[in-house]
Chains A and B, each alone.
Chain A
Amino acid sequence: AQTVTQSQPEMSVQEAETVTLSCTYDTSESDYYLFWYKQPPSRQMILVIRQEAYKQQNATENRFSVNFQKAAKSFSLKISDSQLGDAAMYFCAYRSYGGSQGNLIFGKGTKLSVKP
């Protein structure tokens, strides 16, 4: 079975600085998707970024980018120019490709604080 591990329960960053959140996963599959979701105090899970495993290029969305290391099964999220609104829980998630549509597996999350 696939597992997702986020080893940093909490992280803190100064406003305008850069922070990297770690995520590792375990799978025997070669094709899959990886996601980072943000959950602010409003509780709604919001998609931050998506990476297809077959793509070698790292995904980027504005200030958010990932470092996808397939061989190492690592999928870290880098937030540049951190803003106060980035403060939230961040969840790394894995989904099988071509399998059950319910197979979205989450890590335990990292709580990010942004200091003004």
Chain B
Amino acid sequence: ETGVTQTPRHLVMGMTNKKSLKCEQHLGHNAMYWYKQSAKKPLELMFVYNFKEQTENNSVPSRFSPECPNSSHLFLHLHTLQPEDSALYLCASSQGQLEAFFGQGTRLTVV
């Protein structure tokens, strides 16, 4: 069982829909991240939370809205997405400067 769990694993949504991605970590880490992985591109950091506070927003469009209610849970709320937003969305957590642990990702398709 992974220490970082993401749901759902797959999501298909229309451009007018609203959906949310969920991430939960059971590792006691103090930092959580959202990454976007598109084909043939490096992983792109989207958001960082440290102790529930957002510390980085990497110029992400406002149609992506993160929420971190506590150190163990992270959400990514999606609305009015575009087809180019289709990608694998990875959640990760870490403790201090150590390596990040990743979930299995949500494969998002926007139609």
Which A residues lie at the B interface, using CB under 8 A?
Answer: 4, 33, 35, 37, 42-47, 50, 91, 95, 97-98, 100-109
Contact = CB atoms under 8 A, between A and B. Distances in A.
Interface stretch (B11-19, B64-72, B78-86, B97-105): B97-105
A100 B55 contact: yes
Nearest to B31: A101
Given A91-B43, A104-B45, A107-B42, A42 B56 contact: no
Given A42-B104, A43-B104, A101-B50, 20 more contacts: A4-B42, A35-B99, A43-B90, A43-B105, A44-B103, A45-B92, A46-B102, A95-B97, A100-B48, A101-B48, A101-B94, A101-B97, A102-B31, A102-B33, A103-B45, A104-B33, A105-B45, A106-B42, A106-B43, A108-B42
